Structure 1
């Protein structure tokens, strides 16, 4: 479980295809020496398992499965890419963002960017099949960052929803979101509470005690 509050930005150092998946090495990570093999870390919003850590090199390694490669953009990453990093929450931590599982639901894309009054407004596109999981002032995770939906516009002919996000200077400096350019693909995770509510409203209990879709 994560909060979407990015701790630091690391750098992809090495990639290697391995057993049908991939092996990635990340560096420039100040807390690398604190990482324990087997613990979870969110990398641009994707929950991964640490398989090696090296405090002296300030690096750690993860392995990507075929499933991870199929639902994220991580297979196309190249060395030098900066990534958002967040360690899993402790039960005693403050929940500064919102509940984030680190399970990427889909990829969206950056449509436009404008700067106004010290705030950067980003408009991202999201496949319209997820429209029911988006509400104004609701939460969304973009490349691992907990953000608030500023405004929504549906475009059925484009089969997409345009989501406006207001990014403050601190978020720009503490994450990699300011490096995204129009057309870039991004990892999207929707609010888990909304997903459960939507699921609960789409099934009913039958006479034999089983559940079925409405």
Structure 2
């Protein structure tokens, strides 16, 4: 589990194509502290397992499912990525509960800079729209953000100077793809309430139906 508070910006050092998978090697500093094989690190909001580590780099294997469902399919050496180690029980939950399980990919639609912050609009896949509400939480490329306005097919968020300086969202441009993860609590509530929703009444049988 993560919190959506990025610890550092890493750099993709190598991308090895394995056909239906890739090996991704990332150069980093902070997230390597105390990290061992098998640990989890969030890369642009995608939970990856450390399979190799050393020399200021760590490597993870990305299966086809990850490539199909996240923007990491387009990763190339030199790309900057948001990194966060899995949260420990003695740490403050500064953002919100983030699983690192990407729900969909959005696109930066617009960006409106101001003196102290930027407002960005990001497209929202139809199957995620019901989980996004005004002032609710959403994860964008591993960054915990508060939704300013939830729209039918998009949402807006304000990026404060800290976010602009310490994450890739400071350099995302219109047309760039970003990984999205909806609030897991909203998804659980929806499923629980579904058990109490009235069942759809069966259509009445007509005389013609009986004859058939």
Mark yes or no: TM-score above 0.5. yes
**Alignment map for 1:9-20 (pairs within 5 Å):** 9-18=9-18, 20=20
Q: Which runs of 5+ in 1 are unaligned?
A: 155-160, 207-211
Query: What is the alpha-carbon distance in structure 2 between the residues aligned to residue 213 and residue 42 of structure 1?
Result: 41
Q: Paired residue for 1:187, among 172, 179, 183?
A: 179
Aligned in 2, Cα 1:152/1:31: closer, same or farther, shift over 3 Å? closer
Residue matched to 1:162: 154
Deviations 1:130-167 (A, max 9, x none): 2210110000000000000011222xxxxxx2211000
Residue matched to 1:113: 111
Residue matched to 1:209: none
- How far is the alpha carbon of 1:204 from its aligned partner? 4.7
Higher radius of gyration, 1 or 2? 2
| 1:52 aligns to 2:44 (yes or no) | no
Q: Say which SS state the counterpart of residue 50 (structure 2) adopts.
A: strand
Q: Which runs of 5+ in 2 are unaligned?
A: 202-212
TM-score (norm 1): 0.89
The structure where strand makes up a greater share of residues is 1
Residue matched to 2:71: 73
Query: What is the alpha-carbon distance in structure 2 between the residues aligned to residue 205 and residue 119 of structure 1?
Result: 42
Query: What is the alpha-carbon distance in structure 2 between the residues aligned to residue 100 and residue 30 of structure 1?
Result: 20
- How far is the alpha carbon of 1:18 from its aligned partner? 2.2
Residue matched to 2:192: 200
Residue matched to 2:205: none
- How far is the alpha carbon of 1:127 from its aligned partner? 1.6
RMSD: 1.9
TM-score (norm 2): 0.89
Residue matched to 1:132: 130
